């Protein structure tokens, strides 16, 4: 009953904001438009705003789960138009807080002690309240300033209900509108479900935070606050409180005299370091999660919080990414096409030359500009949009990577418009490729493999003996099989010779029977035919027919 009520609520909001007008005129879209047009709630439609603004307003009205979906979709410019994506980026995750009594009850239940024993002070008024959790300030008994993150009560039930309805709409749209399948709406919903449910486990976020902090230990690029693991559980996480300027508060940083060139370049270096050196990247680097320590304005340091969403790539995936980036930079679009086909992102039947030419048509005009004026994010979006026409299927981790790169480049350009992302990224890429394919990489692989080899070394003599015996047995078996095959071939050859002889004799007998029956010879007659012709005919048929039908003796 609850699901039915929520479904009606969603349908009413869709009609109220006339979201059917957002459906593009593509083959098969008529059925979807008619279905939405028949929705009776459209009588209360609000159509004064722009179409893309109405989508944002609808998501805000539908609540936290849809707001998070809109924020995720705002980075998918390979699926949406620029206007829609840019407007969805304005979605604010400021949700009314839940009561402090509920927050205290959750903390005490999760950590097993009263608030007064856990903290020397605890502020019941939250610092921030978002769709999944809210944050309270406090102080530990040793005087350390901390923040306490608490998951909203019953939020998992709400998320699962709404995601289930999203999947229902995705399937319905795919069925009514086959053309939309190339945008993979059901796949988008499943990826979103994985992301948002992952945010519900704060012990997992704490683990991610600790790993990221360790990766940048003693670094002047990025600071990650300390997590208090003994005060962390599934629904509660306690971590060091940080102070800094929001990365998008340019005016405040300008007043402090921050070196924006250094700040922008460090942002790009952090991205490439996380992806290629550490294979572990913060995948939710929007301005609300990134701050800047301006204590030393000439050497500003980034501060990262909220590590619920992270990405990792296998060595093969990182190699593919590096080679793709280098191919794009070298404007070798056929190589980009081949890499995507070999990786299985694009069907094997795709012609690389045709696909490469389509990519060239999209990207070449961009590269007419000076390199330091080229934004890689839009190039990536255009490449993906073109590849979608060739049924491209991107891995979820690469979607997270694309989103992260768009955030980093967008922030970098906002801080320092002259930022040359390639001047920083290309040397790091080339160094990583050398490390993966050069002598050092071979030595590292040997170092990793030697312990395993040493572990198996005592067993090598027995393994070698067993292998030789197996080869010998296989050789004996093969010799026996070869002898059997020769015998069979000889029998077949003899059978064929007998068949040929029988067919020849039988044919001769049939010819003789025909001649005898023609009346040229005076012979005893049976039923109008010479008796001998009957005898020869029967013999001939007896010899020929079995051979023609495959019976051998």
- At 523-537, the pLDDT tens digits run 444 444 455 554 555
Predicted confidence at residue 390, as pLDDT, reads 73
Instruction: Write the DSSP string, 298-311.
Output: TS-EEEE---SSEE
Rounded alpha-carbon distances, angstroms, from residue 125 to 98, 145, 202, 232: 10, 16, 21, 20
Q: Phi then psi for 298, rounded to 5 degrees?
A: -80, -20
Are residues 405 and 281 in contact, defined by beta-carbon separation less than 8 angstroms? no
Q: What's the pLDDT at 447?
A: 61
381-418, pLDDT tens digit by residue? Answer: 677 777 767 776 666 677 777 777 777 777 787 888 88
- Residue 236 phi, psi dihedral angles, 5° rounding: -140, 140
Say if CB 145 and CB 127 are below 8 A apart: no
Look at residue 521 in the predicted model and tell me its pLDDT: 46
Can you tell me which residue has the tokens 């921030």? 128
DSSP H or E stretch at residue 247: none
Angle in degrees, CA 148, 153, 159, rounded to 5? 110
Which residue, among 172, 170, 167, 168, has the nearest Cα to 183 in the 3D structure? 170
Q: Which residues contact 130 (CB under 8 A, 6 or more apart)?
A: 64, 93, 94, 95
Residue 405 has which token pair? Answer: 């790169």
Inter-residue contact 119 to 88 (CB < 8 Å): no
Residue pair 529/521 in contact (Cβ under 8 Å)? The answer is no
Over 422-435, what HEC string results? HHHHHHHHHHHHHH
Q: What SS3 class is residue 407?
A: helix
Q: Which residue stretches of the chain have pLDDT < 70?
A: 1-2, 20-49, 75-79, 92-94, 177-184, 368-378, 380-381, 388, 392-396, 437-553
Whether 248 and 413 have beta carbons less than 8 Å apart is answered as no
Where are any strands of DSSP class E within 35-144? 121-122, 128-129, 133-139
Give the Å distances, CA to CA, from 41 to 11, 65, 434.
Answer: 7, 22, 61
Q: Are 93 and 131 in contact (CB under 8 A)?
A: yes
Q: Looking at residue 179, what DSSP letter applies? A: G
Helix (H, G, I), strand (E, B) or coil at 348: coil
Contact call for residues 44 and 15 (beta carbons, < 8 A): yes
Q: Which of 284, 306, 420, 499 is catalytic?
A: 284
284 counts as catalytic: yes
Cα–Cα dist 322/435, whole Å: 12
pLDDT in tens, 262-301: 999 898 899 889 988 888 988 887 778 899 999 999 999 9
Q: CA 287 from chain center: how many Å?
A: 24
- What is the pLDDT at residue 75? 66
Output the pLDDT for position 525: 45
> How many helices and strands (H and E) does the chain possess?
21, 13
Token output for 311: 């990405």
Report pLDDT for 241.
96
Q: Give the separation between CA 456 and CA 479, rounded to whole angstroms.
A: 33
Residue 395's nearest CA partner among 273, 310, 282, 313 is 313
């Amino acid at each position: 009953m609850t699901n039915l009520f929520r479904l009606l609520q969603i349908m009413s909001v869709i009609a109220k904001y006339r979201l059917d007008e957002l459906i593009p005129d593509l083959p098969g879209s008529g059925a979807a438009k008619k279905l939405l047009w028949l929705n009776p709630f459209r009588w209360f439609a609000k159509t004064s705003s722009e179409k893309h603004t109405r989508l944002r307003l609808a998501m805000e009205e539908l609540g936290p789960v849809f707001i998070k979906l809109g924020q995720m979709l705002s980075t998918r410019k390979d699926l949406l138009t620029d206007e829609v994506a840019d407007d969805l980026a304005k979605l604010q995750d400021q949700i009314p807080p839940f009561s402090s009594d509920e927050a205290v009850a959750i903390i005490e239940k999760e950590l097993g002690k009263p608030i007064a024993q856990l903290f020397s002070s605890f502020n019941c008024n939250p610092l921030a309240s978002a769709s999944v959790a809210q944050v309270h300030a406090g102080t530990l008994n040793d005087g350390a300033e901390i923040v306490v993150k608490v998951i909203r009560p019953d939020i998992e039930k709400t998320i699962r209900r709404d995601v289930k309805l999203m999947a229902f709409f995705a399937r319905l749209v795919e069925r009514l509108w086959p053309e939309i399948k190339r945008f993979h709406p059901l796949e988008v919903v499943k990826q979103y479900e994985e992301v948002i449910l992952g945010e519900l486990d704060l012990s997992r976020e704490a683990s991610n935070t600790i790993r990221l902090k360790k990766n940048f230990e003693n670094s002047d690029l990025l600071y990650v606050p300390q997590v208090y693991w003994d005060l962390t559980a599934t629904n509660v996480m306690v971590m060091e409180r940080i102070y800094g300027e929001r990365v998008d508060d340019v005016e405040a940083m300008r007043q402090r005299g921050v070196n924006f060139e250094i700040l922008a370049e460090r942002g790009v270096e952090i991205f490439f370091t996380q992806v290629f050196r550490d294979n572990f990247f913060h995948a939710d680097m929007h301005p609300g999660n990134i701050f800047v320590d301006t204590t030393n304005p000439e050497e500003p340091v980034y501060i990262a919080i909220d590590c619920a969403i992270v990405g990792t790539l296998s060595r093969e995936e990182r190699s593919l990414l590096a080679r793709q980036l280098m191919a794009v930079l070298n404007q070798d679009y056929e190589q980009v096409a081949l890499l995507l086909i070999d990786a299985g992102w694009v069907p094997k039947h795709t012609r690389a030359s045709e696909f490469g030419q389509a990519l060239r048509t999209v990207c070449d005009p961009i590269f007419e500009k000076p390199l330091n004026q080229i934004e890689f994010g839009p190039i990536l979006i255009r490449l993906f949009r073109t590849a979608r026409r060739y049924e491209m299927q991107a891995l979820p981790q690469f979607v997270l990577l694309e989103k992260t790169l768009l955030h980093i480049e967008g922030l970098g350009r906002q801080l320092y418009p002259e930022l040359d992302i390639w001047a920083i990224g290309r040397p790091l890429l080339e160094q990583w490729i050398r490390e993966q394919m050069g002598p050092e990489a071979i030595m590292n692989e040997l170092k990793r493999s030697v312990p395993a080899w040493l572990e198996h070394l005592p067993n090598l003599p027995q393994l070698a003996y067993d292998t030789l015996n197996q080869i010998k047995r296989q050789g004996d078996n093969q010799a026996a099989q070869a002898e059997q095959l020769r015998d069979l071939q000889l029998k077949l050859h003899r059978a064929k010779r007998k068949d040929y002889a029988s067919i020849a004799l039988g044919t001769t007998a049939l010819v003789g029977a025909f001649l005898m029956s023609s009346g040229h010879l005076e012979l005893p007659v049976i039923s109008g035919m010479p008796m001998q012709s009957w005898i020869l005919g029967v013999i001939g048929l007896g010899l020929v027919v079995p051979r023609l039908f495959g019976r051998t003796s």
